């Protein structure tokens, strides 16, 4: 760890701050991602669509809470377009004194840098920030490359002309530049910045998985390489140095993907108009207050299963569900037995229904009884539904049948063994739509 903090650029966002929230339990980081395209080479700017001038604002704002026992990390994304009210301050660019006024959250950095950003977030969340970390495009790309890339999976094609992102459904190992395209894209669906936050969370979960299972934390040489790369181009508060990093590393040595959980601030109005500012994201005040109260009290955000009663068998460990594009409950499925194995159709129908599919419940016998490979017959107009069924039945054959209609036909073959659990790619679990790290990353 010696010398790791030498390259860190220091900034004191807590200087002269008054009327701060009361400290809670655990440790809170404010992690911001800034637009630093002016520090990237001309070739990379062209390849990764980073044209234009930097905005001197925060592209990403995340509140990261480490539990007091260091066994859990809770990451809460704050939409950059969140409606915020800035306190009185002096503009860093113009030097002018401003009174309190409404803005989008990312404008706090543009007007007052890290200090005003911290003040604004503390005022909005009533959570006391312990440490500040600022990452730009360059440090992000170099760190991903130092880790050997990061594995991302998607259930649907992702295309964004603005960033140049193009990913087919499946699993991909992204380089630093590709990863930057992935976390910056906000034009791949109708969810805009809210969808982008979900992809950023999945990427952070993948980083945790890569670090904990890829030997980064256990290999001193690899750890030094990755840490030096990241910390060589970040800004942090003076209180975050090698001593604190070593203590955190030791305390979190048993971390796993399931140790992290990801949530976004509950939104009341995603298009709240403000004169002179435009459309902003207005939080659901009641639910947001409950979320940040849980952070202050060091409580898990994800639903916690109840205790197993004495004499009750332990809950079996469930395999990670495969992310899919279409929720299984929206897909009507009819099952036929294409073999001479008695009851196979019924077992497959029951297994699909238990996984969430809307099966007919009355499986029949297929025209042929010598089917070896399970067949999924579908109308091309419902190809996304067919891919969801295919994810639940890996190895099956997809067969397009024009005019079949919305019901997907599954013909059981002798190769059928089990149905793999699936889940919508962006599920909403519990009160705050929390996703744990093992659910957000690619399955085995």
Q: Each residue of 199-248: pLDDT tens digit? A: 888 888 888 888 877 777 777 788 788 878 777 778 889 988 877 777 77
Segment 153-157 mean pLDDT? 82
Contact 128, 122 (CB under 8 A): yes
- Grade residue 20 by pLDDT with cuts at 50, 70 and 90: very high
Residue 363 and residue 337 in contact, taking contact as beta carbons nearer than 8 Å:
yes
pLDDT surpassing 50 at residue 439: yes
Nearest to 77 by CA among 191, 181, 184, 194: 194
pLDDT at position 192 is 63
pLDDT digits (tens, 9 = 90+) for 159-215: 888 778 888 888 899 998 888 888 888 777 655 667 778 888 888 888 888 887 777
DSSP 303: P
- Could you tell me which residue, 312 or 285, shows the higher pLDDT? 285
| 34-43, 56-65, 167-176: range with highest mean pLDDT | 167-176
What one-character DSSP code corresponds to residue 409?
Answer: E
The answer to whether the beta carbons of residues 170 and 322 sit under 8 Å apart is no
pTM (predicted TM-score): 0.72
Range in 51-65, 68-82, 288-302, 312-326 with the lowest mean pLDDT: 312-326
1 has pLDDT over 80:
no
Assigned token pair, 372 = 């070896």
Q: Report the pLDDT averaged over residues 60-83.
A: 91
The string of pLDDT tens digits covering residues 248-297 is 777 777 777 788 888 889 888 888 999 989 999 999 999 999 999 999 99
């Amino acid at each position: 760890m010696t010398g790791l903090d030498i390259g860190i650029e220091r900034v004191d966002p807590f200087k002269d701050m008054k009327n701060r929230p009361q400290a809670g339990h655990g440790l809170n980081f404010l992690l911001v991602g800034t637009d630093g395209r002016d520090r990237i080479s001309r070739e990379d700017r062209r390849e990764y669509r980073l044209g234009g001038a930097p905005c001197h604002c925060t592209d990403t704002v995340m509140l990261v809470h480490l539990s007091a026992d260091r066994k859990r990390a809770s990451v809460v994304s704050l939409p950059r377009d969140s409606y915020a009210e800035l306190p009185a301050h002096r503009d860093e660019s113009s030097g002018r004194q401003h009174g309190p006024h409404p803005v989008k959250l990312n404008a706090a950095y543009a007007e007052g840098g890290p200090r005003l950003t911290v003040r604004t977030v503390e005022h909005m969340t009533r959570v006391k920030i312990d440490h500040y970390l600022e990452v730009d495009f360059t440090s992000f790309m170099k760190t991903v490359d130092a880790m050997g890339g990061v594995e991302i999976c998607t259930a649907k094609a992702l295309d964004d002309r603005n960033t140049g992102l193009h990913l087919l459904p499946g699993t991909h190992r992204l380089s630093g530049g590709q990863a930057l395209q992935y976390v910056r894209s906000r034009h791949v669906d109708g969810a805009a910045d809210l969808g982008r936050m979900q992809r950023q969370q999945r990427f952070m979960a993948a980083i945790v998985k890569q670090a904990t299972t890829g030997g980064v934390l256990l290999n001193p040489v690899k750890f030094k390489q990755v840490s030096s790369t990241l910390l060589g181009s970040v800004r942090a508060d003076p209180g975050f140095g090698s001593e604190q990093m070593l203590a955190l590393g030791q305390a979190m040595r048993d971390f796993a993907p399931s140790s992290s959980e990801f949530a976004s601030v509950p939104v009341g109005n995603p298009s709240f108009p403000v004169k002179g500012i435009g459309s902003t994201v207005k939080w659901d005040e009641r639910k947001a207050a409950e979320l940040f109260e849980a952070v202050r009290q060091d409580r898990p955000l994800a639903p916690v299963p109840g205790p197993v009663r004495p004499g009750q068998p332990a809950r079996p460990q469930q395999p990670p569900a495969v992310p899919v594009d279409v929720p299984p409950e929206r897909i009507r499925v009819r099952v036929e037995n294409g073999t001479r194995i008695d009851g196979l159709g019924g077992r497959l129908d029951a297994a699909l229904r238990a996984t969430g599919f809307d099966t007919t419940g009355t499986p029949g016998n297929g025209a042929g009884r010598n089917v070896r490979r399970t067949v999924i017959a579908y109308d091309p107009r419902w190809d996304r539904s067919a891919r969801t069924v295919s994810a639940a039945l890996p190895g099956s054959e997809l067969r397009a049948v024009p005019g079949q209609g919305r019901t997907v036909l599954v013909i059981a073959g002798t190769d059928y063994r089990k149905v793999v659990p699936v889940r919508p790619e962006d599920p909403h679990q519990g009160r705050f739509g929390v996703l744990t790290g093992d659910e957000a990353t690619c399955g085995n």
